[in-house]
Each structure stands twice: as structure tokens, then as C-alpha cells.
Amino acid sequence: MSQSFDEITTQLKRRHRKSARLKWLSMASLGVALLFLIVFFADMLNKGLPAFQQAMVQVEVNYNEDAETMGRAALEPDIAPLVSRSFERLIPGMIRDNPDLLGTTETRWVLTNSDVDQYLKGHRNELSEDERAAIDERVENEQVEMKFNTTFFTHGDSKMAERAGIMAAAVGTIMTMLVTLAVAFPIGVMTAIYLEEFAPDNRFTQAIEININNLAAIPSILFGLLGLAVFINFFGVPRSSPMVGGLTLALMTLPVIIISTRAALRSVPDSIRQGAFAVGCSRWQVVRDHVLPLALPGIMTGSIIGLAQAMGETAPLIIVGMVAFIPDVSASFTQAATVLPAQVFTWAGEPERAFVEKTAGGILVLLAVLIFMNATAVLLRKKFERRW
């Protein structure tokens, strides 16, 4: 009556093929997703790594009297157009600060302008044929070289691409993150402790919970509107400052910290609480002395991840004005500042080719920091992961 194995196996061929097709299709999807990741990183590295190299030229600086007012006069006329104007502008000040220099000559390596830099890197530039020839000759004589770009890490923004750096943005990011952490961490952890350990299970608590979940899903730009309307217009926090940026990001990070802290608290088994209650601890003592220490790694992990998220955020900061042009590093909470992603955004809007490289370079730094933070979080979790 029933079919033999061979008959069934023959009938199954088509169905097995279909099943295999699903498998391959799904595998290919994952492959495509991972391919995106690889293409993305390759593209960023390709565009951004050159930013860490900058063309330098060896010039004869002749501190003559003309140079006291016009720096360019200190340079030989054939090379002067190739040197970064940022250096020419420094010369009068150098003479003023150190009058002994006057009349002396010095050979030193200085930044070239970005056209030379782009030419040497093989990108589009606006050099004339003669200038190219001059550069080529100096390259032969080892008077023009690519060197590690320290300017990029030690200076703030500049309209001259060869002079632009991420220092001001990095300091701004640190200041902003300090504010964010100082606000979001205590409030987030306290909220989580309240909800997880103290709150009665009533409507009010449920409302807070639903609200926190919704808050996590609100588009970040709306937090910017909140920051603008409440912090700047209502409370008068200075616009563009790390203070207002940090507060705005803190509200955004709050749900992340609350949710991960709650998860960490929940993973501490009840037996520990009951044990502590049994020896006469009050609820607060149980939390402080027994639950929190055990939950701490989880809380740290969540906070780092939340902070990393905030660090990459740009949209709300644009709204509160943190995309200012900041050439000088300033470590103040109330003065205008910018942050790394906002710096990236500003540079991405610059039309010059040299800024594409800077943008990608800034992105690489940002990504490196974020990957470092997330890796720390993952390691922390691995190290302290406990099975009860």
C-alpha cells in the first residue's frame, strides 16, 4: 500500500531543491549584508588613510624686514605659492615674538598647500604645469616628502584643508560626553533601580515603563527640537555649547542606560536578595551591598554602549547649533564647540577635494573610537558574564 523509500526519494528531489534554494538565498542575503560592510570599510580606508599623510616641503626661510609685515617675503618666490598660507601667516608673529630672528635664515620643513598634497596623492588639483614640474624636481631632491600628518591631530578646524584638524572636535566631544554621562548615568541607574527593585507593580510604574520604551524609539532629531525649545529658549543654556549638546544627548541616552541597567539588575538571581533579606538587610541595603555590585559590569557595559551611541549622534546637535566653525581648542562647557561627527558633517559640506580626505580621516578616527568603546563593552560583558 505505502510507497517505498526509493519512490518517495524520487518525489522529494524537487522539494529538496527548493529547500536548498531557500538556504542559498538566505546565505546570499547574509553575504550581501557582510559585503556591504566590507565595501564600506574598504571605501573609508581608501579615502581616509591618505589624510594621515601630508606633503611637507623643505624651504629656506629668510627672516627679512619685509617678512615682518608679509610672511610670504621670507620665502623664495618660486616655492612661495606652494607653501601653505597658514605658515606664511605665522612668520610675522614669529619675528615679533623673537626679534633675534631678524636677518637670519633657516631651513625647515613646512606644510605645502593642499593642491601640492593632492597632486602628490594623485588627486585632482589646480597646479599649473610649471608648478608640477617644480614639485617633481623637489621630490627627486628629497625636498618634498609625505610625512605623518601631526597637524590633523593637534589643530582645530581651518578653511585651509592642509591645516584642518580634529583636535577641537575631539575636545568638544569629550566635554559633551562628560555632560551626557554626568546627567544620564546617575538618573538612568536610579530610574532602573527604582523600577526593578522598589516600584510597586501599578499603573504608574507601567506608564513609566511604556514611556521609556517609546522614548528609545523617538527619532533623535526630535530630541534636538526639545533641546532647542527647552534648554536654549526656555532655560537659556548657551547655544552651540557642550552643555546644551550634552544635556540633549543625555536625554537620548537615558533610555539605553535604563534598559540595560534593568537587564543587569534582573540577571541577579532572587536567591541573593532573599539571602540578604534573611539576614535582616533593608531593601536599600540589599540593593546597595548585594545587588548593585553584582550588576555593575552589566551597568557599565550598557552605559558604554549608550555613550558610544551618543558619541556618533549628529542630528540633534545640528539643531542645537553644535556645527560651529571652531578653529581653536577650548575646554569650556558654555562656549561654542563642535564634536567629531559634527566636524565630519562640516567637512563633508566643503567643496574642495582635499576635504573629502579629511572627512574620511575624521570618520576613521571616529570609527576607531567607537569600535574601541564597543569592544571594551563586549569584553567587559564576557569577562564578568556569570551563569547562575
Partner 1 sequence: MNSQVAEREMTPMTSQRAGQPVTRNEQVNHDLSVRVRDLNLWYGENQALHDVNIDVFQKTVTALIGPSGCGKSTFLRCLNRMNDLIRDVRIDGLVEMDGRDVNEPKMDEVALRRRVGMVFQKPNPFPKSIFENVAYAPRMHDLVSRRADQDELVERSLRDAGLWEEVKDKLHQPGTSLSGGQQQRLCIARAIAVQPDVILMDEPTSALDPISTATIEDLMDKLKQQFTIVTVTHNMQQAARVADYTAFFHLGELIEYNDTKTMFSNPYTKKAEDYITGRYG
Partner 2 sequence: MQTNQIFLLFCGILLLLGLVAFFLGRAKAARVRGAGISMYAQPDQYAWFTVLATAGPALVVSGVGAFLMLLLGAQIPTTYLLVGSLAIAAGGLAIGVLQIRPDFHARQAIERVIRLLLAGAALISIFTTFGILFSIIFEAIRFFQKESLWEFITGTTWSPGASFLEAAGRAEEGGSGGQFGSIPLFAGTLMITCIAMLVAIPIGLMSSIYMSEFAPHSVRNIAKPMLEILAGIPTVVYGFFAAITVAPVIVDVAGMLGLDAAYNNAVAPGIVMGIMIIPFISSLSDDVINSVPDSMRQGALALGMTNGETIKYVVLPAALPGIISASLLAVSRALGETMIVVMAAGMRPNLTANPLEDMTTVTVSIVAALTGDQEFESSATLSAFALGLALFVVTLTLNIVSVVMIRRFREKYRINDL
Q: How far is the CB of 233 from partner 2 (least distance, A)?
A: 7
Q: How far is the CB of 23 from partner 2 (least distance, A)?
A: 5
Q: How far is the CB of 218 from partner 1 (least distance, A)?
A: 33
Q: Which residues contact 264 (CB under 8 A, 6 or more apart)?
A: 295, 296, 297, 298, 299, 301, 302
Partner whose binding site includes residue 178, from partner 1, partner 2, none (CB under 5 to 8 Å by kind): none
Query: Is position 25 an interface residue for partner 2 (rule: CB under 8 A)?
Result: yes
Q: How far is the CB of 232 from partner 2 (least distance, A)?
A: 10
**Rounded Cα gap, residues 51 and 42, in angstroms:** 15
Query: Is position 314 an interface residue for partner 2 (rule: CB under 8 A)?
Result: yes
**Rounded Cα gap, residues 177 and 183, in angstroms:** 10
Q: How far is the CB of 50 from partner 1 (least distance, A)?
A: 48
Q: Which residues in the 271-290 window bind partner 2 by CB under 8 A?
A: 282-284
Q: Which grid cell sits at 63?
A: 627672516
Partner whose binding site includes residue 51, from partner 2, partner 1, none (CB under 5 to 8 Å by kind): none
Partner whose binding site includes residue 9, from partner 1, partner 2, none (CB under 5 to 8 Å by kind): partner 1
Q: Which is nearer to partner 1, 9 or 332 (CB)?
A: 9
Q: How far is the CB of 1 from partner 1 (least distance, A)?
A: 8
Q: Residue numbers of the site for partner 1 (CB under 8 A)?
A: 1-5, 8-9, 11-12, 15-16
Partner whose binding site includes residue 372, from partner 2, partner 1, none (CB under 5 to 8 Å by kind): none
Q: How far is the CB of 182 from partner 2 (least distance, A)?
A: 14
By the 10 Å C-beta count (0-12 exposed, 13-18 middle, 19+ buried), 74 is classed as buried
**Rounded Cα gap, residues 241 and 139, in angstroms:** 45
Query: Is position 341 an interface residue for partner 2 (rule: CB under 8 A)?
Result: yes
DSSP state of 66: G
Residue from 1, 22, 278, 279 binding partner 2 (CB under 8 A): 22
Partner whose binding site includes residue 319, from partner 2, partner 1, none (CB under 5 to 8 Å by kind): partner 2
Q: Where are the alpha helices (DSSP H) in the chain?
A: 5-48, 85-97, 114-120, 129-140, 151-154, 167-193, 203-217, 220-226, 242-266, 270-278, 283-285, 292-311, 315-319, 340-348, 353-384
Query: Is position 20 an interface residue for partner 2 (rule: CB under 8 A)?
Result: yes
Q: Which grid cell sits at 112?
A: 605645502
Query: Is position 194 an interface residue for partner 2 (rule: CB under 8 A)?
Result: yes
Q: Which residues in the 197-236 window bind partner 2 by CB under 8 A?
A: 198-199, 207-208, 210-215, 217-226, 228-230, 233-236
Q: Which is nearer to partner 2, 19 or 332 (CB)?
A: 19
Q: What angle do CA 82, 87, 93 make, to 5 degrees?
A: 145
Query: Is position 368 an interface residue for partner 2 (rule: CB under 8 A)?
Result: no
Segment holding 111, helix H or strand E = strand 105-111
**Rounded Cα gap, residues 204 and 362, in angstroms:** 45
Q: Are 179 and 242 in contact (CB under 8 A)?
A: yes
Q: Which is nearer to partner 2, 79 or 247 (CB)?
A: 247
Q: Which is nearer to partner 1, 16 or 124 (CB)?
A: 16
| Residue showing cell 552589566 | 298
Query: Is position 27 an interface residue for partner 2 (rule: CB under 8 A)?
Result: yes
Residue 34: phi, psi to the nearest 5? -70, -30
Q: How far is the CB of 5 from partner 1 (least distance, A)?
A: 5
* Longest CA–CA separation in the chain, Å: 112
Short-list 330, 341, 338, 337, CA closest to 308: 341
Partner whose binding site includes residue 4, from partner 2, partner 1, none (CB under 5 to 8 Å by kind): partner 1
Q: How far is the CB of 17 from partner 1 (least distance, A)?
A: 12
Q: Which is nearer to partner 2, 61 or 226 (CB)?
A: 226
